[in-house]
Amino acid sequence: MGQSQRIRRLSERESAALDQRTPASSAMFRRAARVLAGGVASSFQAREPWPIYIARGQGARVWDVDGNEYFDFHNGFSAMLQGHANPLIGTAVASRYKLGTHFAAPTEDAVAVAEELARRWKLPGWRFTNSGTESTMAAVRVARALTGRHDVVRIQGTYHGHHDTLLVGLGALHERGIPPGTADLVHPVEFNDGDAIERRIVELERASRAPACLILEAVMTHVGLALPRPGYLEQVREITRRHGVLLIVDEVKTGLAIAAGGAVERFGLEPDLVTLAKALGAGLPTGAIGMAAEVARSIEQIGLVHLGTFNGNPLGMAASRANLLEVLTPGAYERLFDLNNRLLSGCDEVIAGSGLEAHTVGIGSKGCVFYGSEPVVDQRSFKRRHDPELAELIWLWLTNRGLFVTPGREQEWNLTVAHDERAVDRYVEAFAELADALTRQPSGSARA
């Protein structure tokens, strides 16, 4: 039996088993589909034949509407770094609720959160938003306003949110509804290739269209995990500085999750702007942009407006403050990163023991198993080896074994401070069974 036939057979079996275990999700989907487009609140939540509807979460676990229990390795696309229903966040939110939840006027919590972000990121100027999309949209606007330029250089295949400018470059499906004039202003280059960035900037300069900014993730998270090559980020900073192009480091996923001060701390970066969201608000929709001194000063000089009724919302700020000061402490990070190392080495042992052609990549609280031996360094190398049928099997396999993971993606995970050895060991066990199912020779034939 060929490998793709084996994957298909296993998927059929696992898919039938999951359908059996989730009748309440199926019923909820039928109800939802009447009133919610596609039965979900965001296209990212959609799944065939129906999504798994979640009823509740506690610590490292979630329960679906059928009562199935899972260890959560998805964690709301990595937003739940503090674990579900964390009591410290609960106390902060409950206390704030009694004092009023929204004034569209600043509160002291916003000041305290900005102070802590300024300390962690060594950037003096902060503003708040309500999502990663709003953060990257605001950062690009700031860069355009300050430079008086319109063009944007971005990395091919990175996701930066769903506003027009930064959906350009993610494929035809994502670009529906975006005016061609917007697409003309955006210039994608592959990750991990500093020379390509310089070439593109020079081309644009020659056409009298010098770009306002380059936006990138220091670790590319939309392709599993692609780490920056040694010297790449330094080269990017040198090039952008020399050409007067502002450098925006999108830390919506890496911020707080790979170090207390995100990629900026982890790699010693000196960005002009950073964008945060996800793990900042401890499950409440909260984002931020951070600005270097010169950017913050110029913003005040040119009087740029950055707006939003709910920016700095008191509930989100109270949750963020508790998250930063009480939950994500140095000790919590130490345990979190140790646990990720345990998970990575567990997966490495499974790979070595099974002969599966695969390798792991990890950083901070995040990790990924790549099938195949070629390293993933950019979107091109990711696409060459990405197998959507295998990705679907992995999702089904893990879900059926009580592990909630991000659908339609690589075998990737986001740990939280609520995870423990039991959770990661369960993951390794399920992966070992999968590796065995993928590599086992049919009975009667000798193993090569």
Of residues 252 and 288, the one with the C-beta less far from ligand PMP: 252
What gap in Å lies between CA 118 and CA 131, rounded to an integer?
Answer: 19
Of residues 120 and 160, the one with the C-beta less far from ligand PMP: 160
State the nearest-atom distance from the C-beta of 287 to ligand PMP, in Å: 7
State the nearest-atom distance from the C-beta of 288 to ligand PMP, in Å: 12
Cβ contact 416:80 at 8 Å: yes
Strand partners, 381: none
Cβ contact 253:259 at 8 Å: no
Of residues 53 and 159, the one with the C-beta less far from ligand PMP: 159
Closest by Cα among 412, 305, 407, 435 to 361? 412
What gap in Å lies between CA 156 and CA 168, rounded to an integer?
Answer: 9
Phi, psi values for residue 378, rounded to 5° = -165, -175
Of residues 263 and 292, the one with the C-beta less far from ligand PMP: 263
State the nearest-atom distance from the C-beta of 113 to ligand PMP, in Å: 17
The residue assigned the tokens 């074994």 is: 401
Of residues 225 and 344, the one with the C-beta less far from ligand PMP: 225
State the nearest-atom distance from the C-beta of 216 to ligand PMP, in Å: 9
What gap in Å lies between CA 191 and CA 233, rounded to an integer?
Answer: 10
State the nearest-atom distance from the C-beta of 62 to ligand PMP, in Å: 19
Q: Could you list the residues that contact ligand PMP (CB under 6 A)?
A: 77, 131-133, 136, 159-161, 217, 221, 250, 252-253, 277
Of residues 160 and 419, the one with the C-beta less far from ligand PMP: 160
Cβ contact 318:284 at 8 Å: no
Kind and range of the H or E element at 375? none
State the nearest-atom distance from the C-beta of 313 to ligand PMP, in Å: 14
What gap in Å lies between CA 206 and CA 212, rounded to an integer?
Answer: 15
Of residues 225 and 377, the one with the C-beta less far from ligand PMP: 225
What gap in Å lies between CA 133 and CA 136, rounded to an integer?
Answer: 5
What gap in Å lies between CA 7 and CA 18, rounded to an integer?
Answer: 16
Closest by Cα among 276, 232, 234 to 257? 276
Of residues 107 and 136, the one with the C-beta less far from ligand PMP: 136
Closest residue (Cβ) to ligand PMP?
132
State the nearest-atom distance from the C-beta of 252 to ligand PMP, in Å: 3
State the nearest-atom distance from the C-beta of 285 to ligand PMP, in Å: 7
- Strand pairing category for 287-291 and 125-129: antiparallel
What gap in Å lies between CA 389 and CA 7, rounded to an integer?
Answer: 7
The SS3 of residue 129 is: strand
